[in-house]
Amino acid sequence: MLWIYTLVSVVIVSLISLIGVFTLSISQEKLKKFLIYFVSLSAGTLLGDAFIHLIPESYKNGANAILAPLSILSGILVFFILEKFLHWRHCHDVACDDHPHPFSYVILMGDTLHNFIDGLVIAASYLVSIPVGLATTLAVILHEIPQEVGDFGSLIYGGFTRAKALLFNFGTALSAILGAIIVLIINIDTTRVTNFLIPFAAGGFIYIASSDLIPEIHKQTELKKSFGQLIMFLIGIGLMAALILME
């Protein structure tokens, strides 16, 4: 029964990554007009998640006071190195016509890690009790919806087709299932693992939002669109803050 509840929960969470399917009925031209707002939403949700959820969570469970900041910095450093490699691997410019923007792949890497952590946390919650597991699953679902919408839009903005963005986004979401299975098989206490991975993910999110997404937002200087971007950015942060009320 524990396995059924856990696997059903992580599969539902993974399917949220396909939320972009609702854009398939929208013409490419109309979608392009909204993409930069998706990027703003994504930047807001990533920073909101990092500073409102992940970093405070990093200091719970008696974690070493020096471990959290070092893990955050490690996340920033690793994602910096990964993006440097991607720039070198694809082309020597910030972006080129023959490949998706490197930040698209960095987003996918960050999302994979985040979903893996979600799987760990959901499975660990069910090991405590089924009600705790259900509550955790609901919190993760509410958390994932705005982030997946923003990530999907950012991937398209970065050069992916809608079909490819859906496929890759779903592929990263499957890491939640992997994380859950590992916990269930080994029946491990995830505290030590998450004490490092959660702040590490926060560092990755801070890097992606600050060095990749926000510079893209700044490329749009038209006042009306800039105001719309600010609103979407604040909505992303606000959604992450609102989830605190549901914990």
CA dist 151 and 108 (Å) reads 8
Count of CA atoms in the C-beta half-sphere (13 A) of 64 = 8
Tokens coding 83: 């993006």
* Of 188, 178, 51, 183, nearest in space to 112 by CA: 178
CA dist 41 and 36 (Å) reads 9
CA dist 150 and 143 (Å) reads 12
Per-residue pLDDT of the chain (247 residues; tens, 9 = 90+): 888 888 999 999 898 888 777 766 676 677 777 778 888 888 898 898 889 888 888 887 655 678 889 989 998 998 888 777 766 655 444 444 455 667 788 888 888 888 888 888 888 878 767 876 787 787 778 677 777 877 888 888 888 888 888 899 889 989 999 989 988 888 766 677 777 878 888 888 898 889 888 888 888 788 888 999 999 999 989 988 887 776 5
Percent helix, percent strand, percent coil in the chain, to nearest 5: 85, 0, 15
